[in-house]
């Protein structure tokens, strides 16, 4: 683990660059995490690793200390806008929740870490969850932060068609993850078979963009607001995958089921704050402030954040207002997993995989105010 500390983030920030396997735990940041398993401390932050600036949390209610949740996300982008707002605007603090956030650039590591007990809550693409559950891991989907994968296929300006990409190399999150599946489907639908190109692992959006800028690869999938920066810097968007991919479990609110059952009240309060954050984000009166929050958190320009708001919030409505995850969205994910041969041999029991009881309790809690 590499720990990046910043006075403007959520108290503690951990960046995972490599995670151990499913059977061994990776240590969360130290602190008063509710129901946290015992684990060894992480390694010291290497010299030269940049700190990541994040929103300053609002103070918790004075009468009781907050419950600290070991939480994982993959990167800082539009898909976590509700979480960022919950932190910045104090919705979590008002519900006595503090998120101890770990950035896990490789999506499969998020599910592995949660199955191992290192993370209690998280928001990430749930293909790894389906595979972990098939192996008996105690994971559950309790909500959906983002249902639309707004990837752009970014390429150099010299590339004007898919045929120009024949024989080229692309960077993906992992060779068989959903970024690879999404890219493979896009290329297949545009005349390129799996033997017509190569894939290399790079990690999340910032790492993939770095590979593109360096010239190591000829194409990558980017998410807003970095998409707009890439366009300003001369790269071409060949296609927006929102035109190709149906809604699926993109940034899925996930829990370690064993921990959640023992800490039900904390899970409900976390989801209540998420509901309040999404409602705040969709209120047009908050547009300018929401844009400023995203620009500050992702270190992008106001112009790029404004373009992201127009696309993500106003046009595509990427955040389900009720946060509900549906079987249809899980089925759409399974179809993507088949593109890379990772779909479980036996489809998951959706009634077991999805647990809406926490979200229902959170909705009642919000309506009671």
pLDDT in tens, 150-180: 999 999 999 999 999 999 999 998 899 999 9
Tens of pLDDT, residues 190-208? 999 999 999 999 988 889 9
Closest CA to 291 of 204, 233, 230, 224: 224
Average pLDDT over residues 290-318: 96
Q: Is the pLDDT assigned to residue 74 strictly greater than 70?
A: yes
Q: Is the pLDDT assigned to residue 276 strictly greater than 80?
A: yes
Distance CA 146, CA 93 (A): 22
Tokens at 326, concatenated: 């549906």
pLDDT-derived band at 31 (thresholds 50, 70, 90) equals very low
What integer pLDDT is reported at residue 62 of this predicted model? 53
Q: Is the pLDDT assigned to residue 307 strictly greater than 60?
A: yes
Higher pLDDT, 60 or 315: 315
Q: What is the CA radius of gyration of the chain?
A: 19
CA distances from 367 to 67, 175, 272, 273, 275 (A): 22, 44, 10, 12, 10
DSSP output for 209-225? HHHHHTTS-SEEEE-TT
Strand order in the sheet with 152-155: 198-201, 169-172, 219-222, 152-155, 236-240
pLDDT-derived band at 57 (thresholds 50, 70, 90) equals low
Whether 3 contacts 15, CB under 8 Å = yes
pLDDT-derived band at 107 (thresholds 50, 70, 90) equals confident
Distance CA 107, CA 100 (A): 18
Q: Is the pLDDT assigned to residue 46 strictly greater than 50?
A: no
Distance CA 240, CA 152 (A): 4
pLDDT-derived band at 331 (thresholds 50, 70, 90) equals very high
Distance CA 106, CA 17 (A): 8
Environment class of 292 (CB within 10 Å of its CB; exposed 0-12, middle 13-18, buried 19+): middle
pLDDT-derived band at 45 (thresholds 50, 70, 90) equals very low
Higher pLDDT, 324 or 54: 324
Domains parsed from the chain with CATH numbers: 2-149+248-367 (3.40.190.10), 152-243 (3.40.190.10)
Lowest mean pLDDT across 48-62, 126-140, 336-350, 352-366: 48-62
Residues 6+ apart with CB under 8 A from 332: 245, 246, 247, 248, 249
Distance CA 60, CA 65 (A): 7
What integer pLDDT is reported at residue 237 of this predicted model? 96
Q: Is 90 left (phi over 0), alpha (psi -120 to 50) or beta?
A: left
DSSP 8-state secondary structure symbol assigned to residue 175: T
Lowest mean pLDDT across 7-11, 141-145, 206-210, 294-298: 7-11
Tens of pLDDT, residues 250-272? 999 999 999 999 999 999 999 99
């Amino acid at each position: 683990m590499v720990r990046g500390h910043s006075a403007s983030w959520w108290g503690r920030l951990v960046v995972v660059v490599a995670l151990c396997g499913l059977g061994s735990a990776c240590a969360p940041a130290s602190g008063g995490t509710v129901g946290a398993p015992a684990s060894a401390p992480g390694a010291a932050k290497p010299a030269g690793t940049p700190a990541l600036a994040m929103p300053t949390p609002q103070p918790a209610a004075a009468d009781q200390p907050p419950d600290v949740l070991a939480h994982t996300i993959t990167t800082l982008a539009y898909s976590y806008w509700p979480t960022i707002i919950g932190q910045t605007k104090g919705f979590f603090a008002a519900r006595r929740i503090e998120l101890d956030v770990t950035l896990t650039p490789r999506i499969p590591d998020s599910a592995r870490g949660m199955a191992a007990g290192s993370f209690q809550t998280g928001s990430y693409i749930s293909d790894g969850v389906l595979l972990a559950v098939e192996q008996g891991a105690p994971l559950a989907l309790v909500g959906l932060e983002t249902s639309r994968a707004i990837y752009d296929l970014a390429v150099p300006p010299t590339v004007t068609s898919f045929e120009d990409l024949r024989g080229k190399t692309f960077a993906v999150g992992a060779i068989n993850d959903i970024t690879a599946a999404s890219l493979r489907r896009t290329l297949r639908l545009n005349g390129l078979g799996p033997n017509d190109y190569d894939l290399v692992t790079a990690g999340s959006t910032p790492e993939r963009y770095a590979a593109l800028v360096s010239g190591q690869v000829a194409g990558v999938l980017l998410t807003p607001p970095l998409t707009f920066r890439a366009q300003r810097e001369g790269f071409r968007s060949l296609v927006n995958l929102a035109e190709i991919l149906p809604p699926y479990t993109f940034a899925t609110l996930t829990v370690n089921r064993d921990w959640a059952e023992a800490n039900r009240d904390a899970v409900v309060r976390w989801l209540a704050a998420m509901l309040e954050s999404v409602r705040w984000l969709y209120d047009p009166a908050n547009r300018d402030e929401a844009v400023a929050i995203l620009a500050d958190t992702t270190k992008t320009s106001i112009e790029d954040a404004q373009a992201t708001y127009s696309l993500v919030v106003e046009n595509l409505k990427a955040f389900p207002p009720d946060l509900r995850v549906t079987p249809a969205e899980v089925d759409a994910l399974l179809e993507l997993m088949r593109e890379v041969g990772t779909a479980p041999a036996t489809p998951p029991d959706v009634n077991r995989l999805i647990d809406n009881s926490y979200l229902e309790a959170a909705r009642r809690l919000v309506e009671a105010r």
